Structure 1
Amino acid sequence: MSTGHVVVDGAICKCQFGDVPDVLVVKSHQKGYINDDGAKKLIANTMDLGSPFKAKTFGQCKLQPMGSSFKPCMPMITQWQEFYDKAILSNQGQILTEKSKATCAIAGAPCVEFTWHGQTAEGGVGNTKEEADEEMQSQLNPLVNPNEEPFLAQELNGGTFDDTGKPIEKRKINVQIETIKTTFVPLGIAAFDGKEENEYLKFKIKISENPADKMKIKVFQNGEPYYNNDIKESSMLSLGEHEWKWDGFGDYGDYDSKSFVDNDIAIEVTVWLDGHEESHRITLENKKSIKEDWVDISIQKNIKEIIVNLRVNLKDGGSKGLSNAHKIPILVKNHFKKTALRDQTIGFETLKDLALEGIAKHWSRKIRIKGSEFDFKVRVVNTATKSMDDIKLVYNTNSRPLGSSNPGSISDLNSMFANIFVPEVIVMNFGYIKHKGEDPLGLDGWRYLEGTITSDNFKYVAAHEIGHSLLKAYGGSSHSYAHKKSSTLLTQNPLKEEEGGYLYPEAPDEIDVMKYYNDDPYFYDFNRVFAQPEDIYGLIWLNKLKIK
């Protein structure tokens, strides 16, 4: 039989998220047996649900982290797949085979499988080889007591029969599937203007000749099983054309935009009628990202985690102001007791690491999507391949503070002029820096900047400037350059409150990493600075795909 050996009481199971096996205990019925080396073993079936195991655990559950370890596994089987479907036992269960898999409520997908079917039949002493082989097959192949289940022996021996045992002629059926051209955004995140996006890939399934008894749709990624869908709705089994939708996620609640684009994706539909099956398989052609190629996304719905891989192109912009060390007033140096810098004390590699850390810190957060809270994490890589426009990291000292800016790539008239007149640069102002405004120390505005607060400020500035590329890609250059309507477009000054601007939020409220505040203090409360949910949605939306 193509489905392999029948599984019986005492079979060995394992869970892909556990670390120890367990033994299956059949308690769902007391009628269907297979003779096993002189003893009778109950046949395992789809009604063996809940926790039908001897130890009732597969060790530690890797889907439930707890500190440096994991919570104990407490399996809860909700359904079985890949069972023998041509017969029904007296308890209305269908026979499990060594290829059957179980879905656990924790994983939400098939994760428990058999490593041994539980049968140990051998030919009797004194039997000839032919007799032993025949006896072996009668025990190991799917066969229950014909006196207890008279219909079952007929079904398992092949064919379909009426109540009198007369063979019934099999009807024909045909099925086809094709792709419906569409665009697709994971989780259905809307566009910046509020326009709804397709949360599902769409397919057309056509059933002809006769309605189906049942249907299964499988998705393969590079030839490996990725997603299974048992279709039970009678409307989908009828003659004619039907629309089937898929959200792009696999059996374990996983979606990866890069793998989806780069790997071969095949869709196979199988229908059954009178025990006969027909299948049709297609491959998704011309899958491509239609937004930015410098961002990929990985979503794990079961553990509520979203990981964004962001590729930036940070370059060494050198240093400014080192030659001005002799211009620092003696009064200033005596006050701070610091020597004016003549060498770049923080090199490019350190600046790069600080920038990457800042982007990840201020763009990672908890976020709610359609009623569920996800842990949104940003991972940043510095590379010149499939990355954002390059931006320089500059070390500035012994002068007035230099501002940072990032107009990003040219996409419209605003960004074209911005690229002409505005540099793409992230600046570390370090050492002696001369500020404008009030001078309570009487030092002509000079301050000496160093330490953690200077590094934290640079991290924040890096997150802000890289954020401009994200905002511009999602909402356009005006949305980005006006800092989400918190600043003027040309002069880049914070808007006053009466002009629609924002006051600096008081603790414990979050500080928007992308907004300007009209009473923005010099020293930030950096642990309150985060990208806001509407901008995180945009980062997910940038993974929009087109399926032809």
Structure 2
Amino acid sequence: MANNSRTGKNNYPGAILPAPYRVRPQPIGAVNDEQIHNGSKRPLTYATANMDDEHKIIHIRLRMNYGKPSLLTCLLGLAKKPGDAQFEYYARLADEGIAKYWSRTITLKGEAWDVRVRPERSAQGMPLTLANPGSRLLGNLSKRSRNPYPFFTGTLYYDENDGPDPERSYAMTAAHEVGHPLLTHAFGAIWSWGHAGTSTLLGKRYDSAPECPAQGEINLMLYYNRNTSCVIGSNGIFERTIASEDDLKTLVYIAGRPK
């Protein structure tokens, strides 16, 4: 579930994948714009959308509950606990990534709306463990970021060897991993963990996944087959990556409304 296979528009591959995995159109397409505007009857507890109808701006507060790995997790070699200063740095990078990659313009009821996502720290927020990689002997188990919440708490690893710009890679990975619980809440784990049909539930990319687009938007939540356009730090990948309009409409829909 880590965002290591870079992400584009909703050009999902049309191949039939091994059952029960089939590439499907984005499910939010079945929800009309009026419903998206008014919000779901089953909203998230940690996200709130304030709809500014006059100025066509949607302010979304996404509450996050960052924590350090447990003593047992560290003893098992699955992670190393960051120091206080490191932890705050990782939390700030995660906040920056969430705000950057989940904020964009969407079209709702025939008009352009500016959606601004702002993370907030809260004990009632989405839990996410911020960690340093653990034992190398455990391979991906101790270094690959994942977020299966609400089934288990996710873990976000900071890898100083992650390409030429580990800070921006971490921020982008944080935004990707935070997206999994959102899409799981809306459409279930098969859709979310399977990256809209581009991977298995365990995050193994399918050969039928599309190639990373050389130009235009790169979808934050999809897995792509590697090509020269997918190299981290090249071809404007940090600038072109963004949550798709449909995924952001999904967040608007499932976010609660102020009471």
Corresponding position of 2:113 = 374
Deviation at 1:291, TM superposition (A): 2.1
1:424 aligned to which of 144, 151, 154: 154
Corresponding position of 2:15 = none
How many angstroms apart in 2 are the aligned matches of 1:354 and 1:486? 27
Q: Does 1:458 align with 2:170?
A: yes
2:101 aligned to which of 362, 382, 386: 362
Q: Deviations over 1:28-50 (max 9, x none)?
A: xxxxxxxxxxxxxxxxxxxxxxx
1:393 aligned to which of 130, 146, 149: 130
Deviation >3 Å, runs of 4+: 190-193, 195-200, 318-321, 343-346, 397-401, 448-451
What pairs with 1:324-343 in structure 2 (closer than 5 Å)? none
Deviation at 1:396, TM superposition (A): 2.7
Contact 2:163–2:232, Cα closer than 8 Å, also in 1: no
How many angstroms apart in 2 are the aligned matches of 1:522 and 1:344? 31
Corresponding position of 1:483 = 195
Q: Does 1:194 align with 2:36?
A: no
How many angstroms apart in 2 are the aligned matches of 1:199 and 1:405? 31
Query: Mind listing any 5+ residue stretches in structure 1 that lack a counterpart?
Result: 1-189, 201-246, 249-256, 258-287, 322-342, 411-418, 431-447
How many angstroms apart in 1 are the aligned matches of 2:220 and 2:45? 23
Deviation at 1:466, TM superposition (A): 0.4
Give the counterpart letter for 1:429 in structure 2: D
Count residues with an aligned counterpart.
Answer: 216
Give the counterpart letter for 1:474 in structure 2: A
Contact 1:404–1:465, Cα closer than 8 Å, also in 2: yes
Corresponding position of 2:212 = 504
Output the TM-score relative to the length of structure 1.
Answer: 0.36
1:406 aligned to which of 132, 147, 164: 147
Alpha-carbon spacing, 1:303–1:483, altered in 2? closer, same or farther (3 Å): same
SS in 1 for 2:107: strand
How many angstroms apart in 1 are the aligned matches of 2:252 and 2:60? 8
What is the RMSD computed on CA atoms of the aligned residues? Answer: 3.3
SS in 2 for 1:192: helix
Contact 1:510–1:529, Cα closer than 8 Å, also in 2: yes
Give the counterpart letter for 1:523 in structure 2: I
Deviation at 1:370, TM superposition (A): 2.0
Give the counterpart letter for 2:112 in structure 1: E
What pairs with 1:17-36 in structure 2 (closer than 5 Å)? none
Q: Does 1:305 align with 2:13?
A: no
Alpha-carbon spacing, 1:518–1:379, altered in 2? closer, same or farther (3 Å): same
SS in 1 for 2:106: strand
Larger RCO of the pair (alpha carbons < 8 Å, separation 6+): 2
Contact 1:391–1:426, Cα closer than 8 Å, also in 2: yes
Output the TM-score relative to the length of structure 2.
Answer: 0.72
How many angstroms apart in 1 are the aligned matches of 2:107 and 2:31? 19
1:518 aligned to which of 217, 222, 225: 225
Alpha-carbon spacing, 1:393–1:493, altered in 2? closer, same or farther (3 Å): same
Q: Which has the higher strand share?
A: 1
Contact 2:45–2:256, Cα closer than 8 Å, also in 1: no
What pairs with 1:118-157 in structure 2 (closer than 5 Å)? none
Could you tell me the percent identity over the aligned residues? 26
Contact 1:511–1:529, Cα closer than 8 Å, also in 2: yes
SS in 2 for 1:312: strand
Corresponding position of 2:6 = none
How many angstroms apart in 2 are the aligned matches of 1:427 and 1:397? 9
**Which of 1 and 2 has greater Rg?**
1
Q: Deviations over 1:56-112 (max 9, x none)?
A: xxxxxxxxxxxxxxxxxxxxxxxxxxxxxxxxxxxxxxxxxxxxxxxxxxxxxxxxx
How many angstroms apart in 1 are the aligned matches of 2:84 and 2:232? 22
Q: Which has the higher helix share?
A: 2
2:241 aligned to which of 521, 524, 529: 529
What pairs with 1:16-415 in structure 2 (closer than 5 Å)? 192=28, 194-196=30-32, 199=35, 290-317=42-69, 347-385=86-124, 387-388=125-126, 390-396=127-133, 399=136, 402-410=143-151
Contact 1:495–1:502, Cα closer than 8 Å, also in 2: no
Give the counterpart letter for 1:513 in structure 2: L
Query: Mind listing any 5+ residue stretches in structure 2 that lack a counterpart?
Result: 1-25, 75-81
SS in 2 for 1:429: coil
SS in 1 for 2:28: coil
Corresponding position of 1:540 = 252
Give the counterpart letter for 1:391 in structure 2: L
SS in 1 for 2:184: helix
